């Protein structure tokens, strides 16, 4: 069955296909009817300004760019923040859609996750986060495995998470690349903000092999990592040398175009990561870092930031010495850090950074310090703070709305905005 539509003559995209419609009828097959209708409704809404111009009124607005605003307004226009301030000084123009909430925050940022590659069904077809054929595979692109329609993405979006740093899991010495995406879009191209963010490295138990397969010890992991970095340092010096995707990607690390994301939990492995970074003059971001509280001075001296393990992470094995007070100690030491949802091999499949940050308030951080770990501080570590992480004129209009204190478990997320569009208005 075919359906007919008539739209004003213009160029537009429907589910990734470009159309140039000169104000006439066109046909769509029945199998694609629902998807095209949804896209057309969105196009019509955007062209009329119904979604492009939104005013968010909040009893309290935490901008993360100064003091919280009581009885405030955020105006968004064409995907950007147009104005923010007290309702007494920010007039809502006619024609703006008005959304209200008790508390408004910047859209939340998950500084490290694997959702989009790891799916909620826990079946082989939706588990693309680890390739087990080799311990060193920096050439694996996250965007080639990312599923924008994954239900876990929709779930965290409904709780206020608007940006994720995701990719290959910490389950191999070099498991692959990471990417930065918005939690919206019908496909990876629509979701992707930065296709290549970091290269994921793991030093520790998570990347150990057994049965005589390397690497089987921490020393072997370090030796293999050094060996591939040495090769990458020389890559490209011979003009007639064939392309090597592994070395090509690691050369970007050597040239400081991108950092290594090094998952290391024990103080021993953290020190190894710092030592290798110093030897090769490369940039790294420490990830997990369960025993960071044991080597604070060394981390501080390195100047490298930390993406800390989830607050309520399971303590056992190499994470047995993790502490819920580590965030406070990092803060007091002046070490830049952000929070993450991490990598769950089974249930609950993904944690939610909103809840993990909320737990930090009970362990020494103030409300706004905890909120910073999943907003502006995360944005800074990811190199995205010029676009996201705070509610500031000119930045992306990414907002999260709540009916109370976001860190109270009885509070609900009542709305999520991404690029000026209300992508969720359910109460979660």
Residue 21 has pLDDT above 60, yes or no: no
pLDDT tens track for 27-56: 545 555 444 544 444 444 444 334 579 999
Confidence of residue 408 (pLDDT cuts 50, 70, 90): very high
Compute the chain's Rg from CA coordinates: 23
- Do residues 218 and 203 make contact, with C-beta atoms less than 8 angstroms apart? yes
The pLDDT > 90 percentage for the chain reads: 81
CATH 3.30.360.10 is right for the domain spanning 49-106+391-428: no
At residue 180's C-alpha, the angle toward residues 381 and 305, to 5°, is 15
Residue 4 has pLDDT above 60, yes or no: no
Output the pTM of the full model. 0.88
Taking all residues of the chain, what is their mean pLDDT, rounded to a whole number? 90
Closest CA to 282 of 246, 252, 248, 247: 252
Residue 307 has pLDDT above 50, yes or no: yes
- Determine the straight-line distance between the first and last CA of the chain, rounded to whole angstroms: 37
Confidence of residue 122 (pLDDT cuts 50, 70, 90): confident
Task: Label residue 379 exposed, middle or buried (CB < 10 Å: 0-12, 13-18, 19+).
Answer: buried
Q: Can you give the pLDDT at residue 421?
A: 96
Q: Which two tokens stand for residue 220?
A: 């072997």
Q: Can you give the pLDDT at residue 32?
A: 52
26 Cβ contact list (under 8 Å, min separation 6): 4, 5, 19
Residue 20 has pLDDT above 80, yes or no: no
Q: Which helix (H) or strand (E) holds 308?
A: strand 306-308
Domain ranges of the chain: 2-48, 49-106+391-428, 108-388
Identify the CATH assignment for 108-388 out of 3.40.190.10, 3.60.9.10, 3.40.50.2300, 3.20.20.140: 3.20.20.140
Residue 22 has pLDDT above 90, yes or no: no
Residue 328 has pLDDT above 50, yes or no: yes
pLDDT tens track for 130-175: 999 999 999 999 999 999 999 999 999 999 999 999 999 999 999 9
The pLDDT > 70 percentage for the chain reads: 88
Instruction: Indicate the range of 43-57, 85-99, 111-125, 237-251 predicted with least confidence.
Output: 43-57
Residue 131, φ and ψ in degrees, nearest 5: -105, 115
Residue 397 has pLDDT above 80, yes or no: yes
Q: Classify the C-alpha dihedral 119-426-184-160 as positive or negative.
A: negative
Residue 301, φ and ψ in degrees, nearest 5: -65, -30
Residue 308 has pLDDT above 60, yes or no: yes
């Amino acid at each position: 069955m075919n359906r007919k539509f008539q739209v004003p003559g213009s160029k537009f995209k429907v589910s990734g296909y470009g159309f140039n419609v000169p104000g006439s009828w066109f046909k769509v097959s029945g199998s694609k009817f629902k998807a095209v209708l949804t896209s057309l409704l969105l196009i019509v809404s955007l062209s009329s300004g119904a979604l492009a111009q939104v005013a968010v009124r909040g009893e309290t607005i935490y901008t993360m760019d100064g003091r919280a605003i009581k009885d405030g307004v955020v105006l968004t226009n064409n995907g950007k923040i147009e104005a923010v301030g007290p309702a007494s000084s920010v007039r809502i123009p006619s024609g703006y859609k008005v959304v209200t909430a008790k508390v408004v925050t910047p859209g939340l940022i998950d500084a490290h996750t694997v959702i989009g590659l790891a799916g909620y069904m826990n079946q082989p077809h939706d588990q693309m986060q680890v390739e087990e054929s080799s311990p060193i595979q920096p050439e694996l692109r996250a965007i080639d495995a990312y599923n924008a329609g994954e239900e876990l993405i929709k779930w965290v979006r409904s709780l206020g998470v608007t940006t994720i740093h995701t990719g290959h899991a910490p389950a191999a010495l070099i498991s692959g690349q990471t990417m930065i995406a918005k939690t919206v879009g019908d496909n990876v191209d629509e979701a992707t903000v930065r296709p290549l963010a970091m290269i994921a490295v793991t030093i520790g138990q998570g990347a150990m092999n057994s049965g005589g397969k390397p690497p089987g010890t921490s020393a072997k992991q370090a030796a293999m990592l050094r060996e591939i970095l040495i090769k990458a340092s020389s890559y490209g010096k011979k003009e007639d040398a064939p392309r090597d995707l592994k070395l090509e990607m690691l050369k970007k690390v050597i040239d400081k175009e991108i950092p290594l994301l090094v998952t290391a939990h024990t103080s021993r492995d953290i020190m190894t990561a710092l030592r290798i970074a110093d030897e090769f003059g490369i940039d790294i971001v420490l990830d997990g870092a369960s025993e960071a509280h044991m080597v604070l001075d060394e981390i501080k001296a390195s100047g490298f930031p930390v993406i800390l393990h989830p607050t309520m992470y399971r303590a056992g094995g190499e994470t047995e010495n993790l502490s819920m007070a580590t965030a406070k100690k990092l803060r007091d030491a002046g070490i830049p850090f952000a929070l993450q949802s991490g990598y769950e091999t089974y249930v609950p499949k993904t944690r939610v950074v909103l809840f993990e940050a909320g737990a930090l308030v009970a362990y020494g951080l103030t409300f706004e310090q905890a909120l910073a770990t999943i907003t502006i501080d995360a944005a800074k570590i990811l190199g995205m703070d010029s676009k996201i992480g705070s509610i500031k004129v000119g930045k992306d209009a990414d907002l999260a709305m709540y009916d109370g204190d976001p860190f109270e478990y009885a509070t609900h997320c009542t709305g999520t905005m991404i690029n000026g569009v209300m992508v969720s208005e359910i109460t979660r």
